[in-house]
Amino acid sequence: MKDTDYLISWDKNNLKVNYTEVLILGSGVAGLFTAIKLSANYDVTILTKKNIMEGNTEHAQGGIAVALSQDDSPESHFEDTIKAGAGLCNLKAVKILAEKGPDCVQELIAMGAQFDRQNDQLDFTREAAHSKKRVLHAKGDATGEEIERALVATTQRCSIKVKEDAYVIDFLKNNNGEIAGVLVLDTPTSKLEAWLAKAVVLATGGLGQLYKYTTNPEVTTGDGIAAAYRAGAELLDMEFVQFHPTALLLPGSPSFLISEAARGEGAKLLNSRRERFMKNIPGQELAPRDVVARAIWEEMKDGPVFLDFGFLGPQAKERFPLIYKTCFQYGIDISTTPIPIGPAAHYLMGGVGINTVGETSLPRLYACGECACNGVHGANRLASNSLLEGLVFASAISEKLQTKNIVLDRWEDINLPEVPLGVSERYSSDSSNIRRELRNIMWKKVGIIRDSEGLLKAQNQLSKLWREFTPRPEIKELELGNMLTLSLIMVKAALSREESRGGHFRRDFPLTDQQWQKHSVQKRGEEHVCYVSI
């Protein structure tokens, strides 16, 4: 796999070099909360691929799960998370999530995040696989947007530098092999820059754009994960992708997320005959996401599937204003008409391997949020745990870094990437077509239901696309290189795990096997997938 052949010409002597104490890559909930927590004691800089508001956090509708209500407890939250994780959760990480979550959310509220209330009390809803109403929401279905607003406003009040339109190409190392910074393409000027730091925190989000249908925005191409892999970091559990069961499925419309909170409040799934097909499945519409997604996938073989909000009537517009507005744009009034829906790639449970304080396998590189994996989600993330995870483990990183005494590197001590970057005389004939093919392959063969035959075909087809691909020094091309790298990594992990567990379902190995109750590990240069016990 030519996962390091980024063909860009750059000269160390002519690069602009920037220095900061802590460098945060990404401006979602994980990156911003880390930056805020560290800003009192460190010089902190955030690099973000587009603008500070663009990412997965902003698009989170359902809410943030936290044990703050009187009839709830961290113990109950812990148990629900473990159950949803299909036997693959890191118990220590889940305990930290459940116990530290309330304090982190209270910090968020203190920063100005305004969650919905009823009778002046926080209003909690229930989502799939939760035994309690513990999901906070804002403006009905705009929770992520409100959290992002509060964090951005706090960031602007702190002494935090933010550089937008900064595309991270690769990590830089010092002479000791430690991560010392990143090589960045400044989009407005098309010039390369180096950013050096005492510590780098990776918070670049997921990789939903690898799939034809996804709830993720266009920026989620897995760039940070791929760069970490090239630098030698371990990747964990890359076979586990969560497909959200309900995304708007209309010709000409985006794969717009229809929040799980709708089913939490009683919305029903109907098949093409307008019959409920989840009523005989344990948990019904609130079964774990992987169960609901597969049930919908099977029903779609016979025709369209719908989500019916009819129980809410006129209140649907008030409770789910964003969903109502979006669907109305396409001629559907959700208060009277069921919505055509289908699954879409939503969340990566795997990512760059970290411990419970965010340390990766590379010295001075930390990670948190969707790009990272410490096993807290296991094989299937519990609904609305992702925003909480970003807060809790961002906080853990900030506490860990307070104890570090790291020296800032000098530019002359920095090594070049292992594979020299040079100009190619041959460019891809049609990179947009390669991207389209990649997303189709991933959706059809590495999606909700997998098998050996399809995965092997995917591996061959993706390898062929690699051979056809030679990137220009442009963001879309660099993104595609990362997408190809990660697609092949995910196929390799999915082929190796010969069982079904959580978000990974193998038609040819439909049972969950106890001998596979372990995490997959992949590292650049190693031919086979390794496994470690949970």
CATH of the domain at 380: 3.50.50.60
User: Is 526 part of a structural domain of the chain?
Assistant: no
Q: What pLDDT, on the 0 to 100 scale, is given for residue 57?
A: 62
The residue out of 380, 413, 446 marking a domain boundary is 413
Distance of CA 208 to the CA centre of its chain: 7
Give the burial class of 307: count Cβ atoms within 10 A of its Cβ; 0-12 exposed, 13-18 middle, 19 or more buried: buried
Confidence of residue 1 (pLDDT cuts 50, 70, 90): very low
Res. 322: pLDDT tops 50: yes
Nearest in space to 169 (alpha carbons), one of 481, 409, 484: 481
284 and 233 assigned to the same domain: no
232 and 100 assigned to the same domain: yes
Residue 286, domain CATH: 3.90.700.10
Q: Does residue 364 carry a catalytic annotation?
A: no
Confidence of residue 61 (pLDDT cuts 50, 70, 90): low
Q: What pLDDT, on the 0 to 100 scale, is given for residue 424?
A: 40
Confidence of residue 310 (pLDDT cuts 50, 70, 90): confident
3-17 confidence digits (pLDDT tens): 444 445 556 777 899
374-413 confidence digits (pLDDT tens): 999 999 999 899 999 999 999 999 999 988 888 999 998 9
211 and 355 assigned to the same domain: yes
DSSP string, 142-171: -HHHHHHHHHHHHHHHTTEEEE-SEEEEEE
The range of the structural domain enclosing residue 23 comes to 14-240+349-413
219 and 259 assigned to the same domain: no
208 and 270 assigned to the same domain: no
Res. 420: pLDDT tops 50: no
Q: What pLDDT, on the 0 to 100 scale, is given for residue 56?
A: 58
Rounded CA-CA distance 408/266 in Å is 55
Q: What pLDDT, on the 0 to 100 scale, is given for residue 92?
A: 98
Query: How confident is the prediction for the chain on average, in pLDDT?
Result: 91
Res. 283: pLDDT tops 80: yes
Q: Is 112 left (phi over 0), alpha (psi -120 to 50) or beta?
A: left
Residue 284 burial (CB count, 10 A): 16
User: Is 158 part of a structural domain of the chain?
Assistant: yes
Confidence of residue 101 (pLDDT cuts 50, 70, 90): very high
Largest CA distance in the chain: 69
The residue out of 365, 390, 413 marking a domain boundary is 413
115 and 204 assigned to the same domain: yes
Res. 416: pLDDT tops 60: yes
The residue out of 345, 374, 398 marking a domain boundary is 345
DSSP 48: -
Rounded CA-CA distance 18/16 in Å is 7
User: Is 331 part of a structural domain of the chain?
Assistant: yes
469-511 confidence digits (pLDDT tens): 877 778 998 999 999 999 999 999 999 999 999 999 999 999 9
104 and 146 assigned to the same domain: yes
70 and 182 assigned to the same domain: yes
206 and 314 assigned to the same domain: no
User: Is 363 part of a structural domain of the chain?
Assistant: yes
Report the domain count for the chain.
2
Rounded CA-CA distance 25/289 in Å is 29
User: Is 1 part of a structural domain of the chain?
Assistant: no
Residue 394 · residue 34 · CB < 8 Å: yes
Res. 418: pLDDT tops 70: no
146 and 252 assigned to the same domain: no
Q: Is 358 left (phi over 0), alpha (psi -120 to 50) or beta?
A: left
User: Is 254 part of a structural domain of the chain?
Assistant: yes
User: Is 429 part of a structural domain of the chain?
Assistant: no
Q: Mean pLDDT across the stretch 271-293?
A: 93
Q: What pLDDT, on the 0 to 100 scale, is given for residue 513?
A: 97
Nearest in space to 236 (alpha carbons), one of 408, 144, 355, 108: 355
User: Is 271 part of a structural domain of the chain?
Assistant: yes
Please indicate, yes or no, whether the overall pTM of this predicted structure exceeds 0.85.
yes
85 and 172 assigned to the same domain: yes
Q: Which of 126, 134, 230, 289 is catalytic?
A: 289
269 and 294 assigned to the same domain: yes
Cα separations in angstroms, 316 against 117, 121, 139, 248, 259 = 17, 22, 13, 16, 12
Nearest in space to 491 (alpha carbons), one of 437, 439, 438, 442: 442
